[in-house]
Structure 1
Amino acid sequence: MEKIQHSFLDIRGLKLHVAEIGTGPAVVFLHGFPEIWYSWRHQMTAVASAGFRAIAPDFRGYGLSEQPSQPEKTTFRDLVDDLLVMLDTLHIQKVLLVGKDFGARVVYHFALVHPERVVALATLGVPFILTGPDAFPTDLPKGFYMLRWQEPRRAEKDFGRFDVKTVVKNIYILFSGSELPTATDDQEIMDLVDESTPLPTWFTEEDLQMYASLYEKSGFRTALQVPYRGWLEEYGVDDVKVKVPGLLIIGEKDYALKFGGFEDYIKSGTVKNYVPDLEIRFLPQGTHFVQEQYPDEVNNLLITFLSKHAHA
C-alpha cells in the first residue's frame, strides 16, 4: 500500500483524487458503492507487479474527490466525461478499463461513447445492461434497497440515525449476502442488519475505518444520486453493441444475480448479444465483493485477461 501514490487532478472544474502505482499499459479501475479507490488495493499492487500502470480514481463526490456544487444533478455521463478528461490529462490514449458494481456501467458507457480509446474492459459483479426507464425490472419487491434509495430523502433519513462507520459496515454486511436486500413496510434498509452481526472475515476493522474516514469526508449526497437516483439515465447512443473484448467476473453467491434476471441473462449467453467478445468467469463462493473476498483469484483472472489484450 505504501507504494501507491496519490494526486489530485483538475477535471472539469473539480479536483478529483487519483491513486496510482506502476508503469506500463494503463489500467483504470472504477469503483462501485459503497466502495472507493481503496477497494482496488489488492488489484492495483498485483497488476503493477505484472507490468501495468494501475490508476484508481475516486468518482466526483466520492472519497477524497471534490463534491460537485449540485450533487443531485450528477449523471452517469458526468462520470464518463470526467474519465475522458482524466485520460487526456494523464496523456493516456488507449486504456484498459476495470469496473465494479455501478463502475461497470460507467466502463460500458465509456466504451460505447469512446470505443477508440478502449483496448479491452473487465467488469465485476455487474454485466452489460440496457438502460433507461423501460429497461428497469418491474418485478422487484417494493422494499428492495434500490427502490428505497431512489426515493428523495428516504435514505438520508435512514442513514442519519447512525454514524458513517455503522452505515458503511451495514451496507458491506448486507451486500455480502446472496439475497436481494429488501425491507418490509415497517423497516428501513439499515434495520436489516443486527448491530451484533460481525464484518465478513475478509474485511478488517482497519478496512472499515478507511472506508468510514473517506465517506465521513464525502458524505452520501453524490453516492445516492449516482448510481441510485440517476439509474434510469440512457447511454445516449444508437448502437448498444460493445466493440472491444470483455471479461465478466462474478460470484455465484452474489445477490446481483437475482436482480432483473441477471443469472439467466449471463448463463444463457444473452449478454453476448451486446458484448460479443466476452469471457465469463464465475467464482463459486464469491459474493458481491469478489475482488476483496478472493483477491488472488480475481487478480489471476484480470492479469491473464489484461496481458492477453494489452500485448496482442
Structure 2
Amino acid sequence: MDMAHRDIRVNGVRLHIAEQGSGPLVLLLHGFPEGWYSWRYQLTALAEAGYRVVAPDQRGYGRSDRPKEVSDYSLPHLVGDVVALIDALGEERAVVVGHDWGAPVAWATALMRPDLVRGVVGLSVPPAPPAMMPPPSVTRKLYGEGYYQVYFQEPGRADAEMAADPVRFLRRLLAGGSGDKPGVDEPGLWMIPEGTTAVDSLPEPETLPGWLTEDAVRFFAREHALHKEHAYTGPLNWYRNIEANQGLMSPFRGRTIDVPGLYMVGTMDLVLAMRGVPELRAALTSIVPDLRGDVTLPGCGHWTQQERPEEVNAALLEFLAGLD
C-alpha cells in the first residue's frame, strides 16, 4: 500500500501531509522537534487495518509553511489547522492522535470542536484544560531559568544553537529522551545550566538506542534544514505562545473533553518528572469522562510511537475498533 505526499492549503498556511489508506480518517499530530516521519510505523499499520491515515508536518515544521509572527503559533491557530485539514480532506469527522506537542493540540481540538472529533488519543502529554500546559510565569518559579521551556522563550537563542548542527542536536535529544539510557532508572527534566547551550546540555550518546537509526536522525535533520538558519524558529514559537494560550483558551475553562479518549505514556518519559503530572493522571476521568484507556509502557521514554511501535499500534487499533 503506497504512501502519498502532497501539500494542502488550510487556515492560511500550506501544510505538507503524508497520507495512506482509505476508510475513517485518523490524523496523526507530531511533537517537537519531529514531523510526519515520527509516525512512519503507524501510517502503514493503521492503513492496512482499514483507515485513512494522514500525518501532517504541522505549521513551522518540515515542508510546511513557517509563518513569521510568533503569535501565529498559538494553540487556537494550531487547532484551526486541524479543523481546516479535516474539511480540506473532504471529511466530516476524524480521530485525532497527538504526541508531545501534538497531544495538547489533539486534546484542545477535542475540547473546542467535539463535533468534529470521533475520538482523541494523547501520547506522553496528558490533558490539562483549557490551555494544556503551565505557562512560563509558573514554570520559571518551579524550575528556574534553566528549564527548557523557559530557556526557549528568548527569541533567536535556542533557534541558533539547534540550527548550527541539526544532526548533532537531534542525535543528542532523541537519544537523551529515550527510555533505554544505561544507568538511568527514572525520568528527569531537561534542564539547561547557566553558561551552556540547549544542545551542549545534552550528552553525546556513545551509541544510538536500538529503536533509532542514524538514517532517521539525518532524515529529520534534512527536513528541518529546509528552513535553513530558521529551522527551529517556527517549532520554538509554539513554546513562546504558552503564556498567551492561557488567556486565549480561558473561554473553555471548566469544560471537559467529551469524546472517547485514550492516554499512553512510558515510565521513562521526561513528562512524568514534571510537577503536577501524577495528579493530572489520577484525575484523567474527570477531564475525559469517556476515557477508554490509560496505558503505561514500562521502560519507554519520551518518543512513544517510535520506541514502542508495536505496542502503540495495538493500543490504537483496539481504541479505533471500539469507536467503529
Relative to the length of structure 1, the TM-score reads 0.92
The answer to whether the 8 A contact 2:176-2:203 is kept is no
Task: Give, in angstroms, the shift of residue 109 of structure 1.
Answer: 1.1
Q: 1:140 Cα shift? A: 1.8
Q: Partner residue of 1:307?
A: 321
1:224 aligns with 2:236: yes
1:275 is aligned, of 288, 292, 297, to 288
Match of 2:45 in 1: 46
Alpha-carbon contact 2:300-2:307 (below 8 Å) kept? yes
Give the counterpart letter for 2:220 in structure 1: Y
| Residue 203 of structure 1: aligned partner | 212
Partner of 2:302: 288
Give CA deviations for 1:240-294 in whole Å, capped at 9, x if unaligned. 200001100100111110112213431xx21322112222000011100121011
Which residues of 2 match residues 60-71 of structure 1 at below 5 A?
60-71=59-70
CA contact (8 A) 1:61 1:71 kept: no
Give CA-to-partner distance per residue, 1:77-99, whole Å, 9 cap, x none: 11111111111111110110100
Report if the CA contact (8 A) 1:32-1:101 is conserved. Answer: yes
Q: CA RMSD in A?
A: 1.9
**Residue 184 of structure 1, CA deviation:** 1.9
- Count residues with an aligned counterpart: 305
Gaps of 5+ in 2: 180-186
Q: Matched residue of 1:32: which SS?
A: coil
Q: Aligned residue for 1:242?
A: 257
The 2-side partners of 1:207 and 1:214 are apart by: 11
Q: How does 1:18-167 map to 2 (within 5 A)?
A: 18-71=17-70, 73-130=72-129, 131=131, 133=135, 136-137=138-139, 138-160=141-163, 162-167=164-169
Q: Secondary structure at the match of 1:190?
A: coil
1:261 aligns with 2:270: no
Q: 70-79 or 28-37, which moves further after superposition? A: 70-79
Kept in 1, the 8 Å contact 2:128–2:280? The answer is: no
Structure 1 residues 14, 134: closer, same or farther in 2, change over 3 A? closer
- 1:247 is paired with a residue whose SS is strand
Secondary structure, counterpart of 1:189 in structure 2: coil
Q: Distance in 2 between matches of 1:238 and 1:192?
A: 36
Whole-Å separation in 2 of the counterparts to 1:13 and 1:183? 35
Distance 2:255 2:192 in 1: 34
TM-score, length-scaled by structure 2 = 0.89
Q: How does 1:6-21 map to 2 (within 5 A)?
A: 6-21=5-20
Contact 2:136–2:242 (8 Å) recurs in 1: no
CA distance in 2, matches of 1:135, 1:240: 23
Please say if residues 62 and 224 of structure 2, whose CA atoms lie closer than 8 Å, have aligned partners that are also in contact: yes
Alpha-carbon distance between aligned partners in 1 of 2:201 and 2:178, rounded to the nearest angstrom: 13
1:133 deviates by 4.2
SS of alignment partner, residue 302 of structure 2: coil
Q: Kindly provide the CA deviation profile for residues 134-178 of structure 1, in whole angstroms up to 9, marking residues without a partner as x.
A: 994442243111111122222124325x31221222221232262
Of stretches 256-265 and 24-33 in structure 1, the one that deviates more from structure 2 is 256-265
The SS at the match of 2:115 is helix
1:191 is matched with which residue: 179, 200, 203? 200
SS in 1 for 2:242: coil
Q: Tell me the distance in 2 between the aligned counterparts of 1:230 and 1:203.
A: 30
The alpha carbon displacement at 1:5 in A equals 0.5
Change (3 A) 1:147 1:22: same
Letter in 1 for 2:189: L
1:126 offset after TM fit, Å?
A: 0.5
Q: Give the counterpart letter for 1:224 in structure 2.
A: L
